[in-house]
Structure formats: structure tokens, C-alpha cells
Amino acid sequence: MEHVKGLLAKVGIDPERLEMFNLSAAMGPRWAEMCNEFTEKIRGLGPSPIWLATYRLKRNIKE
């Protein structure tokens, strides 16, 4: 995970956008909790640079 986070940082992507969670198939409520927490975290970070770049590119083409 640390290695992949380092690779993302190299290309300007916040390593915080990647996380790994370990849990068993019997931990449904915890799974939902993690998904919600991570979704909120990503919302807080805003759109990814790749998404923004692609969006701008598409918008320019339309314009």
C-alpha cells in the first residue's frame, strides 16, 4: 500500500485517495461504516486531478 501510495504521489494524486481495509465477510455493518467514512473523506478532498483534467478537456472540446 505504501508503495502504491508513493506511485500516486509521483503523478500528483493525493495518496489519501487510496486506502485498504481488512475485514471479514461477517462484518457487514463495519463495512458500511468504512464505505461511508471513505466516501466522506473523498468528497472532502474534491475531484481527482485526473477527473478534473478529463472534464476540462471534454468541456474545451464542446466549447
Partner 1 sequence: MITGEQKPFEEIWNMVKDFKKVLVFGCNTCVAICHAGGSKEAEILASLLRMRAAQEGAAIEINHAAVERHCEPEFFQPGMDNVRTYDLILSTACGVGVNLLSEHIGDIPVFPAINTEFFGAVPRSGEFTELCAGCGNCILHLTGGICPIARCSKSLLNGPCGGTNNGSCEVSPDIKCAWVQIYDRLKQLNRLDLMNEIVDAKDWSKAQGPRNFKVKLLEEIKK
What part of residues 26-45 is at the interface with partner 1 (CB under 8 A)? none
Closer residue to partner 1 in complex, CB, 11/25: 11
DSSP category for residue 47 = S
User: Residue 56: in which H helix or E strand, if any?
Assistant: helix 49-62
Contacting range for partner 1; rule: CB under 8 A; set: 16-24, 27-35, 38-46, 50-58: 50-58
Taking the C-alpha atoms of residue 29 and residue 47, their distance in angstroms, rounded to an integer, is 27
CB 50 within 8 A of CB 12: no
Number of residues forming the site for partner 1 (CB under 8 A):
11
Binding site for partner 1 (CB under 8 A): 7, 10-13, 49-50, 53-54, 56-57
